């Protein structure tokens, strides 16, 4: 009798498995579909945020149409006065045409329209310029403007006070922002002469970005700086010869701007001298505060420049440091100047940025928020301080830059130390060490 090897049981199991597989194949195939909640949890938020951003932005923009274009009025009136041979510049200050003669050349198309159409044109020019500049910034830092970044940016613009004010006032800040972003993009691509030309166009329209000439000099782009200065000069020269009334800019308007315009402007100015005057600080403190701000700005600028370059983030950050210091130290500045900090707000979302910090975004909120902080329940002195939140935001940004620069400097030091610890110990490869009394 042969010993049993279990072949019968194995065959029975195989036959049972075949029969079970045939029964399963005979069943209809039913695919289980995930429920609605799991689809929502795993879904893409891009479309919902685009819907929210578009609706929020459209609602906010619709509110700006009421009483729109009061900053367009002096622009339109100046162009028509020049064409009619009348005076262009006066000593009124607020509500007057305060831009250089080169701006009249760029604004000359307004002469073909009445005031109502001039307001409409400037509204759509500002709207298109802000949206295009935002899209260019997103692409500059690796975000698709059609994607999630564009939706978040549109939602942010819908609550950004400087952007909404620009649309409501109908001023030239929209095209100037577009010129600033164009300069950043051109510089990133190595076209520094084009970057200088774009900066020059903004200076010809409104020289608010003139401090950025320091950035071109810091990058040693002498030709770009010369081009930026030449553009407004070239545009102004023929107009000064053809329309002698435009020479009044140097006699009346320029001295007015240097001394901070008039009391009406100082009441809404957010520069540090204006704030100190409103808070009844001694007048002798004003030049001291300006000198301190300029010294801090120069120090931060130099320290940020010495850190290993991560472009275009370094370019945007040095531009922002210069602008923040200039706004604080100038004789006057307005809250809607915060529009020119939009490049920094986008760059701060870069994964390599040390500005992913609550202090930086608190400063940006103070600069960009359109919400008033004044409450009737608070004492008047507290409300007076809260009314200066834009200036507080600028100071906060300088502090945030100082902390971020210190963080990057320490990170660079640690990286060098780690690299030095991994260096070979061969004496022939080691760096020479100067001995006392020996020549280096």
**Residue 165 in domain:** yes
**Residue 357 in domain:** yes
Beta bridge partners, 369, equal 160
CA pair distance 227, 112, nearest whole angstrom: 30
Query: Same domain, yes or no, for 248 and 331?
Result: no
CA nearest to 369, candidates 143, 161, 109: 161
Per-residue pLDDT averaged across 289-307, rounded? 95
The pLDDT value given to residue 183: 97
CA pair distance 75, 106, nearest whole angstrom: 11
167 backbone dihedrals φ, ψ, rounded to 5°: -65, -40
Whether 434 shows a pLDDT value over 50: the answer reads no
Query: Same domain, yes or no, for 142 and 218?
Result: yes
Q: What is the pLDDT of residues 225-259, one digit of tens each?
A: 999 999 999 999 999 998 888 898 888 888 888 77
Which of 236, 258, 280 lies at the terminal end of a domain, its last residue?
258
Per-residue pLDDT averaged across 72-85, rounded? 91
Whether 295 shows a pLDDT value over 60: the answer reads yes
* Number of domains comprising the chain: 2
Residue showing tokens 């830059």:
401
The two tokens of residue 290 are 């300006």
SS (H, E, C) 147-175: CHHHHHHHHHHCCEHHHHHHHHHCCCHHH
CA pair distance 335, 250, nearest whole angstrom: 26
- pLDDT tier for residue 117 given thresholds of 50, 70 and 90: very high
Whether 121 shows a pLDDT value over 60: the answer reads yes
Break the chain down into helix, strand, coil percent, rounded to 5: 70, 0, 30
- pLDDT tier for residue 422 given thresholds of 50, 70 and 90: low
Query: Same domain, yes or no, for 283 and 244?
Result: no
Sorted by sequence, the CB contacts under 8 Å of residue 123 that are 6+ apart come out as: 65, 68, 69, 167, 170
* DSSP per position, 97-134: --S-HHHHHHTGGGGGS-HHHHHHHHHHHHHHHHHHHH
The pLDDT value given to residue 151: 94
CB-based burial label for 416 (10 Å; 0-12, 13-18, 19+): exposed
Query: Same domain, yes or no, for 89 and 153?
Result: yes
Query: Same domain, yes or no, for 281 and 248?
Result: no
Which of 227, 258, 289 lies at the terminal end of a domain, its last residue?
258
Mean pLDDT of the chain: 84
**Residue 17 in domain:** no
**Residue 66 in domain:** yes
CA pair distance 340, 314, nearest whole angstrom: 16
Query: Same domain, yes or no, for 330 and 303?
Result: yes
CA nearest to 79, candidates 38, 113, 47, 52: 113
Q: What is the pLDDT of residues 310-341, one digit of tens each?
A: 899 999 999 999 999 999 999 889 999 999 99
- pLDDT tier for residue 19 given thresholds of 50, 70 and 90: low
Q: What is the pLDDT of residues 337-391, one digit of tens each?
A: 999 999 999 999 988 899 998 999 999 999 998 776 666 666 777 777 777 889 9
- pLDDT tier for residue 262 given thresholds of 50, 70 and 90: low
DSSP 369: B
Per-residue pLDDT averaged across 135-151, rounded? 94
The pLDDT value given to residue 66: 76
CA pair distance 72, 74, nearest whole angstrom: 6
Q: What is the pLDDT of residues 183-242, one digit of tens each?
A: 999 999 999 999 999 999 999 999 999 999 999 999 999 999 999 999 999 999 999 998
CA pair distance 69, 84, nearest whole angstrom: 22
SS3 label, residue 360:
helix
**Cα separations (Å) of 298 from 196, 203, 286, 301?**
22, 22, 18, 5
Long-range contacts of 208-211 (CB under 8 A, 24+ apart): 208/176, 208/337, 208/340, 209/176, 209/179, 209/180, 209/323, 209/340, 211/322, 211/323, 211/325, 211/326
Residue showing tokens 């022939």:
428
The pLDDT value given to residue 331: 87
Query: Same domain, yes or no, for 141 and 216?
Result: yes
The pLDDT value given to residue 25: 53
The pLDDT value given to residue 26: 52
CA pair distance 222, 216, nearest whole angstrom: 7
Query: What is the value of pTM for the model shown?
Result: 0.84
Which of 228, 258, 288 lies at the terminal end of a domain, its last residue?
258
How far does CA 122 lie from the centroid of its chain? Answer: 21
Query: Same domain, yes or no, for 249 and 286?
Result: no
Instruction: Please state, as a whole number, how many other Cβ atoms lie within 10 Å of the Cβ of residue 38.
Output: 10
The pLDDT value given to residue 305: 92
SS3 label, residue 64:
helix
The pLDDT value given to residue 283: 87
Per-residue pLDDT averaged across 49-65, rounded? 92
Q: What is the pLDDT of residues 85-100, one digit of tens each?
A: 888 887 776 668 889 9
Query: Same domain, yes or no, for 268 and 397?
Result: yes
The pLDDT value given to residue 39: 47
Output the CA torsion 199→205→211→214 (10° steps): 30
Domain range enclosing 307: 260-419
Is the pLDDT higher at 133 or at 376?
Answer: 133
Query: Same domain, yes or no, for 168 and 132?
Result: yes
**Residue 236 in domain:** yes
Query: Same domain, yes or no, for 232 and 267?
Result: no
């Amino acid at each position: 009798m042969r010993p049993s090897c279990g072949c019968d049981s194995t065959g029975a199991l195989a036959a049972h498995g075949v029969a079970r597989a045939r029964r399963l194949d005979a069943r209809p195939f039913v695919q289980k579909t995930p429920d609605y909640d799991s689809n929502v949890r795993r879904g893409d938020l891009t479309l919902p945020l685009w819907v929210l951003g578009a609706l929020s932005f459209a609602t906010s923009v619709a509110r700006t149409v009421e009483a729109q274009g009061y900053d367009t009025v002096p622009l339109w009136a100046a162009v028509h006065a020049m064409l009619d041979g009348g005076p262009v510049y006066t000593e009124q200050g607020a509500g007057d045409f305060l831009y250089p003669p080169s701006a009249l050349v760029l604004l000359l198309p307004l002469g073909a329209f009445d005031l109502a159409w001039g307001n409409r044109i400037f509204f759509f020019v500002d709207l298109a310029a802000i949206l295009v500049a935002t899209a260019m910034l997103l692409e500059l830092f690796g975000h698709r403007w059609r994607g999630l970044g564009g939706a978040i940016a549109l939602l942010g613009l819908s609550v950004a006070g400087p952007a909404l004010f620009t649309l409501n006032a109908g001023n030239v800040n929209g095209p100037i922002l577009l010129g600033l972003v164009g300069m950043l993009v051109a510089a990133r691509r190595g076209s520094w002469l084009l970057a200088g030309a774009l900066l020059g166009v903004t200076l010809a329209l409104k020289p608010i970005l003139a401090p950025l000439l320091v950035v071109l000099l810091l990058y040693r782009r002498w030709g770009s700086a010369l081009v930026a200065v030449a553009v407004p000069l070239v545009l102004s020269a023929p107009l000064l010869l053809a329309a002698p009334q435009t020479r009044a800019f140097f006699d009346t308007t320029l001295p007015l701007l240097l001394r901070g315009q008039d009391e009406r402007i100082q009441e809404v100015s957010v520069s540090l001298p204006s704030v100190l005057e409103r808070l009844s600080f001694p007048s002798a403190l004003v030049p001291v505060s300006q000198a301190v701000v300029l010294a801090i700005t120069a120090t931060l600028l130099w320290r940020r420049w010495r850190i290993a370059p991560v472009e275009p983030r370094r370019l945007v950050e040095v531009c922002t440091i210069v602008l923040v210091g200039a706004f604080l130290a100038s004789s006057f500045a307005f809250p809607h100047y915060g529009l020119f900090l939009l490049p920094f707000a986008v760059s701060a979302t870069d994964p390599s940025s040390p500005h992913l910090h609550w202090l930086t975004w608190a400063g940006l909120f103070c600069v960009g928020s359109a919400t008033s902080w004044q409450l009737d329940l608070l004492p008047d002195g507290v409300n007076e301080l809260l009314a200066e939140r834009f200036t507080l935001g600028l100071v906060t940004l300088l502090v945030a830059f100082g902390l971020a620069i210190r963080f990057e400097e320490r990170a660079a030091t640690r990286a060098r130390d780690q690299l030095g610890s991994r260096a070979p110990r061969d004496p022939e490869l080691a760096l020479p060490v100067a001995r006392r009394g020996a020549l280096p």
